[in-house]
Structure 1
Amino acid sequence: MVTLIRFVARSFWSTIAAVLVAAIIAIAIVVSAFGLRISGGTALYFIIWWTLLFAILPFGVRSQAEAGEVTRGTEPGAPAAPALREKALWTTLVAAIVLVFTAWVLPLAGL
């Protein structure tokens, strides 16, 4: 799974496509299986995605000082390689799972 994420994250457009496809599939599942409206499913997915993004951002980050490659004029604590595309993909996958679980556990029909 990690290898697949890294492969897809090589290109900006493949990352965007993967994020959109996974989001659409997750929203379609909660709309068809749990009775949410498209707007409610989309809004709930966006809130979950955005919250999880900030939870996932710190994972695997090495500062420039730790990597030994401090760029002149930057903060030494800044990330050396933030891997934002990979984190967007991980956030999308986790958010899809959390969305389906949330719709399954909570009575959100008609939202």
Structure 2
Amino acid sequence: MAITSAIVLFAVVWFMTFLCVLPVRLKTQGEDGKVLRGTHAGAPVDPQLKKRALITTGIAGVIWAILFWIIVWEIVTVRDFDFQNRMNPEPEVLQDY
């Protein structure tokens, strides 16, 4: 896996994890009973984005490491999803004896 692919994979995993972490334990203005004028009742009272970003980075790092390991060691490859046999057969490795 090239460095660019690894960075893109981490970015995708990070943003997907961030979107899952955002609503966890979120207290809205409507729940607090203090809705500010001009805001929606579902707006957060204290979003704690720095804390959520750090939590996201830790979780995404673990998920990324697992995916990186699976890709590098070729545990799952693109050929595993070729159900209609459209890809060329895998090239044989010639061994010199």
Please, what TM-score do these two structures have when normalized by structure 1? 0.61
Overall identity of the aligned pairs, in %: 31
Q: Which runs of 4+ in 1 moved over 2 A?
A: 105-109
Q: Which structure dedicates a bigger proportion of its chain to helix? A: 1
Among 99, 106, 111, the residue aligned to 2:64: 99
Q: 1-side partners of 2:40 and 2:6: how far apart?
A: 40
Q: CA deviation at 1:105?
A: 2.5
Amino acid at match of 1:72: R
| Alignment pair present for 1:37 and 2:2 | yes
Higher Cα Rg, which structure: 2
| Alignment pair present for 1:58 and 2:23 | yes
RMSD: 1.6
Q: 2-side partners of 1:108 and 1:83: how far apart?
A: 38
Q: CA deviation at 1:78?
A: 1.0
| Alignment pair present for 1:76 and 2:38 | no
Unaligned 5+ residue runs, structure 1?
1-35
Relative CO higher for 1 or 2, CA cutoff 8 Å, sep ≥ 6?
1
